[in-house]
Structures are given as structure tokens and as C-alpha cells.
Structure 1
Amino acid sequence: MALYNKRINDQLMTNCLALSNELLEKETHSFFPNIMSYWNHILFGDLILLRRLALNHIAGLTPQTLSALPTPKSPQDIYCRKLSDFAHLRSQVDELIIQYCTNLTDENCEQFISYTTTEGESITKVIADLTQHIFNHQAHHRGQLTCVLSQFGVNYGCMDLPIIVSEGSRANA
């Protein structure tokens, strides 16, 4: 999933980088007001979940690991206003997610951590569920983003998991 996540983000980012700033900021009349807001919110979700894991030193993540990245505060955070500035940050976070998943163990997945949500609610969750949510959150909002891109006439290509990530697949299986 981490490889798929990076590949799809790279694919969509390449398409979005080809768009004008006017189109990136155009009102979408959808869940988020514009394409840039989708990218910023997806990054917020990754950063806040990775920080929660890092505070508990899960799978090699520590607060120091994330020290060069922005600190998430709100689901409406804006990390970059220009997509060209944003692309590097997105790639860094995707590489960090791959590193995290590579280091994740079965024992990690069974651990619980507690944290406070952005709404102030105290929650305890198992690491496996938080890790799955990293990918579910991105897939959910990328689905919205691809709908917007389709309406803007952008052909973003194939996003099917079995076709995009062939690692682990067997021919004639």
C-alpha cells in the first residue's frame, strides 16, 4: 500500500503540475474549494497520523524523524500555496510512509496508542487501524480529487492497485 500510495501521488502530482495556477485555485464546488486544498488536506492527514505514531516511537518513527516537516494543527492547514513547492514535501512524506511500513512489525500493529484529536477528544487506537487509516484517508480524498480532475478534463491515467503495484503478484496465480 505504501508503494501504491507513492506511485498514485506521483501520478496525480505530475498531472496537477501541468495545470495552470488558475485551474489549481479554481472553485471546485466540492468537498474542498480547490485542487490545492485537496493536496494540503491529504498532507495534513498524513502528518498528524505520522506525528501520533512518532510520539510513541512506532516502527522507527520519532519526533526527530519528523522535525523537518510541518507540524499539523488543523484539517484546514495550508502547507504550500504553490504546487511546485508542495511536490517535494509530498514526496518526502511518501518516502517516510514507505520507511515506516518497511519497519512496521506484527508486534507494532498490535500496540495501542492514545492521543487527542484536533477536536479535543481523547482516543486510544491500535496501530494497525491507524496505519490502515493513513491509506484510507488518502484514497478517500484522492477519489474526490480525481472526480474534480475529470470534471476539469484531466486524464490522470490508471489507478488500479493490481496494475500499478505488481510487486508480490504471481503470473498465472
Structure 2
Amino acid sequence: MSRTSHICLMATYNEWMNAKIYEAARSLSDEELSVDRKAFFGSILGTLNHLVAGDTVWLKRFAKHPANYLALEPIQQLPALKSLDQLLFSNIRELSAHRVWLDQNIVEWSCSIAESDLDHTLHYSSMKGIPADRNFYGLVMHFFNHQTHHRGQVTTLLSQAGVDIGDTDLVALIPSKSCTK
């Protein structure tokens, strides 16, 4: 599997998992979603907001790649974020609608990445204004790993609230290959 194929797979996995998590989260009341469960970002809603914030920050950085990804133009129009724990949406319905839109943009962007784009060094600044220069492919892998990390926290929080989201393994989306000789 090429690096670009892997990125497309990760974008599809991201979209699939987010749909499952949001469907499960919508089974809880707004109050239950906002309960401080002592997670990194407090509540289920806080953690889901963090994922949207983190994705937005990274996608805005990725939009500065010289490849000039058209799929990221709508992301560039979003307001700059002040922090990664910012509560962007106060209810699951609005957050869910934004998540669907964001995931569609991520899938479209992932399919537009060329193999040669991945070896570029991306120049950006941290949220604290500290300049950084990192390998683009490594940053894209971090982007998807960050999502998986915090979705794992959300699945635990949902489980503790009595909600089972079912299968979460990437292997469910990895294509099978059969050998014919």
C-alpha cells in the first residue's frame, strides 16, 4: 500500500469512526454529554470539541503546503482558534453537523495528496507562536494518530456511560487481498 493510499484509508477510517461515535453520543442527553468525567478535556462533549479544534488547527497548517489543496479552502475560511480546549459547539447536534462537514473535507483532501507532496518540509507555528519545520508525511500521520488517541478516550467515556459503539478496529476497513497463482 502506498503512503497516499494509507492516508486515504485513514481518512475513511476517521469518517467511519466519527459517524459511529457521534451516533452513540446522540443517545445521551446534553447534560450527560457535558458531565465532567475527569478526562483530558473533561466531558464527552469537551473531548469531541477538542478533536474538531485539533483537526481544524492542523488542516489550516496543511493548507499552507505549496500543493495548495483546494479541498482545504473552506477550512481556511474558519476563524482562528484561541485554544485546543475551546468549546466550539455547546450541543451534540451542531457539533455533529460540523464534524460531518469536516470529515467530508478531510476525505476529499486526503484523496488529492500526491506522493511527492509527502516529502515536503512544512513550516508552521505552534499555537504559542513557536516556529516549527516538520516532514509533511509525519505530520499527516500525527494528525490521524491524534484523532485515534482521543476517540479512544471518547469510546471509554461512552462505555462508562453505558453506551457501546461496537467494533472500532481499523482492520474492518483494510481491503482483503487474495493471491491467485
- What secondary structure sits across from 2:166 in the alignment? coil
* Number of residue pairs matched by the alignment: 171
- List alignment gaps of at least 5 residues for structure 2: 1-9
Aligned alpha-carbon RMSD (Å): 1.9
- What secondary structure sits across from 2:154 in the alignment? helix
- What secondary structure sits across from 2:55 in the alignment? helix
- Letter matched to residue 102 of structure 2: V
In structure 2, what is the equivalent of residue 119 of structure 1?
Answer: 128
- 1:55-94, aligned counterparts within 5 Å? 55-58=64-67, 60-61=69-70, 64-94=73-103
Go from structure 1 to structure 2 and tell me whether the alpha carbon gap of 1:137 and 1:32 turns closer, same or farther (over 3 Å shift).
Answer: same
- List alignment gaps of at least 5 residues for structure 1: none
- Letter matched to residue 117 of structure 1: S
Tell me the alpha carbon deviations over residues 84-117 of structure 1, each in whole angstroms, 9 at most, x when there is no partner: 0111110111111111110111111001111110
Are 1:149 and 2:154 an aligned pair?
A: no
Tell me the alpha carbon deviations over residues 89-146 of structure 1, each in whole angstroms, 9 at most, x when there is no partner: 1011111111111011111100111111012221001110111111111001111111
Q: Which has the higher contact order (CA 8 A, sep 6+)?
A: 2
- Taking structure 2 as the reference length, the TM-score comes to 0.87
Counterpart pick for 2:115 among 70, 83, 106: 106
- Taking structure 1 as the reference length, the TM-score comes to 0.91
In structure 2, what is the equivalent of residue 40 of structure 1?
Answer: 49
In structure 2, what is the equivalent of residue 17 of structure 1?
Answer: 26
- What secondary structure sits across from 1:113 in the alignment? strand
Cα separation, 2, equivalents of 1:162 and 1:63: 28
In structure 2, what is the equivalent of residue 169 of structure 1?
Answer: 176
- What secondary structure sits across from 1:155 in the alignment? coil
